[in-house]
């Protein structure tokens, strides 16, 4: 099998991840609920993971690291914290449905949003479009750091500067960048929340996510319940992380995530260089096949590469590849807005994405198999 679908989830993990998760299943109880050894062991793992994430992303207070189920959960918490009372948001033209659908769901509360449409692989145009979309009632800006469709690296630092000048909070969707690109929240002046999954480039198990609360204000809980703190009170605690972490945490997942973050903290620069080389080679090989349209950039792309055939539907092409043991993703990738911006509606694209465990030989074999399939189709 050749696995090239890491933008959905990294399948190959560091061995320490699965070992830690399995060990937690058999040795950990409920953190923060009891004083016995299995509960204390769980609490220690959870706090250790908070500290690892805080150090890696530049959060000074570990309690501002909130564990979630996934990036979608994190984005819902962030968006509804800033917009539950209404207002206007500006989003880029490359946002995932995890941004668009919560905004649509808030329409009944008076929330509106404007999509800052801009051409593919044009960071300066993104900045101009976002600034032009701002209104007097704008309450926040939401930016996808790296497009899950095209790997387009959007200009996070410039948008952060713009938001800081305007006094607007910024929500960052780091689903495809956390663990690969440099991301230190101490360098961001306007970021209120940074949202990410644990199961992609942080190499944690599925069912894990992180919400970095760069500020501890404007918080809004989606779920209220047991937190292990202030149990006599009938109202949800108003402090982090308890306010946003009701119920039993996914301790085995967090144990695995801790090991994933440790791996990335040691290897991030090497991972970034390796993925860039693999992506360049894949783009070069795909561009040599005349019937393919390849969406690539030499200057602002990371980890993800989209292409499509002029004859074969992307989903059908990916199914053909799956029959030869090659795992890609075809279609809209839950991001029709990005496809509208990139001009790839309605069919979408075939998408390959790499990880720290993808090898050059796998990329070459994929190119060979694709060439054979296109020739025989």
Q: What is the CATH number of the domain that holds 69?
A: 3.40.640.10
Q: What is the pLDDT of residue 350?
A: 98
246 and 290, same domain (yes or no): no
Q: What is the pLDDT of residue 68?
A: 98
The two structure tokens encoding residue 371:
């060439």
- Global pTM? 0.97
The residue among 311, 373, 321 whose CA lies nearest residue 351 is 321
Q: What is the pLDDT of residue 218?
A: 86
**Structure confidence by residue, pLDDT tens digits, 224-281:** 999 999 898 989 999 999 999 999 999 999 999 999 999 999 999 999 999 999 999 9
Note the residue count of the chain: 377
CA distance 369 to 35: 57
Instruction: Tell which of 262, 283, 315 closes a domain.
Output: 262
For Cα atoms 157, 161, 166, give the angle at the middle one, nearest 5 degrees: 150
CA distance 192 to 168: 9
147 and 238, same domain (yes or no): yes
DSSP one-letter string for 212-272: EESSSSS---S-----SS-TT-SSPP-STTGGG--S---HHHHHHHHHHHHHHHHHHHHHH
The two structure tokens encoding residue 229:
């703190």
200 and 277, same domain (yes or no): no
117 and 234, same domain (yes or no): yes
191: containing domain: 15-262
Instruction: Tell which of 235, 262, 289 closes a domain.
Output: 262
205 and 284, same domain (yes or no): no
Q: What is the pLDDT of residue 198?
A: 98
The residue among 2, 328, 9, 22 whose CA lies nearest residue 179 is 9
CA distance 344 to 86: 32
6 and 121, same domain (yes or no): no
Instruction: Tell which of 262, 279, 299 closes a domain.
Output: 262
Q: What is the pLDDT of residue 216?
A: 81
Largest distance between two CA atoms of the chain: 70
pLDDT-flagged residues of the chain (< 70): none
Cα 340 vs. chain centroid, distance in angstroms?
20
Is residue 5 within 8 A of residue 329, CB to CB? The reply is: yes
Q: What is the pLDDT of residue 145?
A: 98
Is residue 295 within 8 A of residue 351, CB to CB? The reply is: no
55 and 92, same domain (yes or no): yes
Is residue 159 within 8 A of residue 153, CB to CB? The reply is: no
Give 225-232 contacts, CB < 8 A, sequence gap 24+: 226/33, 227/32, 228/30, 228/31, 228/32, 228/33, 229/32
353 and 206, same domain (yes or no): no
313 and 327, same domain (yes or no): yes
CA distance 91 to 129: 10
């Amino acid at each position: 099998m050749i696995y090239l679908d890491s933008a959905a989830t990294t399948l190959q993990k560091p061995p320490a991840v699965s070992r830690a998760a399995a060990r937690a299943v058999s040795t950990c109880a409920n953190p923060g609920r009891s004083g016995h050894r299995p509960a204390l062991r769980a609490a220690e793992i959870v706090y250790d993971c908070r500290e690892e994430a805080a150090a890696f992303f530049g959060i000074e207070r570990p309690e501002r690291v909130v564990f979630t189920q996934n990036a979608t959960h994190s984005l819902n918490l962030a968006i509804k914290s800033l917009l539950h009372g209404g207002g206007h948001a500006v989003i880029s033209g490359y946002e995932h449905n995890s941004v668009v659908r919560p905004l649509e769901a808030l329409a009944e509360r008076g929330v509106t949003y404007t999509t800052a449409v801009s051409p593919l692989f044009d960071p300066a145009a993104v900045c101009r479009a976002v600034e032009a979309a701002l209104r007097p009632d704008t309450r926040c800006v939401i930016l996808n750091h790296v497009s899950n469709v095209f790997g387009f690296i959007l200009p996070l630092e410039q948008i952060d500067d713009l938001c800081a000048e305007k006094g607007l909070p910024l929500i960052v969707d780091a689903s495809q960048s956390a663990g690969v690109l440099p991301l230190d929240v101490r360098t961001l002046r306007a970021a209120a929340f940074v949202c990410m999954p644990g199961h992609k480039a942080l190499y944690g198990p599925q069912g894990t996510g992180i919400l970095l609360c760069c500020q501890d204000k404007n918080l809004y809980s989606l779920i209220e319940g047991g937190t292990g703190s202030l149990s006599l009170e009938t109202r949800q605690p108003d402090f982090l992380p308890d306010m946003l972490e009701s119920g039993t945490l996914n301790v085995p997942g967090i144990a695995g995530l801790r090991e994933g973050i440790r791996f990335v903290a040691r290897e991030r620069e090497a991972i970034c260089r390796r993925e860039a080389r693999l992506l360049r080679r894949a783009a070069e090989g795909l561009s040599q096949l005349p019937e393919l349209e390849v969406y690539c950039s030499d200057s602002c792309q990371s980890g993800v590469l989209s292409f499509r055939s002029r004859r074969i539907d992307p989903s059908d092409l990916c199914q053909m590849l799956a029959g030869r043991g090659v795992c890609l993703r075809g279609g809209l990738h839950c991001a029709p807005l990005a496809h509208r911006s990139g001009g790839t509606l309605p069919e979408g694209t075939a998408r390959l994405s790499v990880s720290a465990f993808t090898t050059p030989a796998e990329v070459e074999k994929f190119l060979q198999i694709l060439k054979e399939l296109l020739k025989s189709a």
